Amino acid sequence: MKSSILTTILLAAIPSLFAGHHAVANHAPFAAATAVAVKHMATKEDIADVRKEMATKGDIAGIMEELADIKRRLKDVEAAVEDHAGHSKEIDHALERIAAIEKHLGITRKIAA
């Protein structure tokens, strides 16, 4: 947004810069460019609204602490389950054997989905 306003001002000023001394009397391009810039400027109210919604340094510090805590806990969980990786295969195998035994004995299970 700022670059487009600056571009507008510069484009309005360029013809006047190359026109020599007579350009001093012609302020219309500068006035038009200034009007565009003023039209797009933020008001005090706009800035106040942004400040109300903006996170404070304290907010960000709190988030950073929380993220650090989450990261620590995830590393703890990762370390705790690291040596349990093979257990899921063993559990699956045991469940298959139980299903085979139940089938052989004629036991039917109804599992709620």
Three-state DSSP state, 25: helix
On whether the pTM is more than 0.85, the answer is no
* pLDDT tens digits, 62-106: 888 899 899 999 888 888 877 776 777 788 888 888 888 888 887
CB-based contacts of 47: which residues, under 8 Å, 6+ apart?
none
Using CA atoms, how far residue 74 sits from 61, 63, 77, 107, in Å, is 20, 16, 5, 41
Which residue has tokens 């391009």? 29
d(CA 39, CA 91): 69
pLDDT at 23 over 50: no
Helix, strand, coil percentages (3-state) for the chain, rounded to 5, are: 80, 0, 20
pLDDT at 41 over 80: yes
Q: Given this model, what pLDDT does residue 35 score?
A: 80
Which range of 10-19, 33-42, 82-91 scores highest in mean pLDDT? It is 33-42
Domain ranges of the chain: 1-54, 56-113
Percentage above 90 pLDDT, the chain? 4
pLDDT at 18 over 70: no
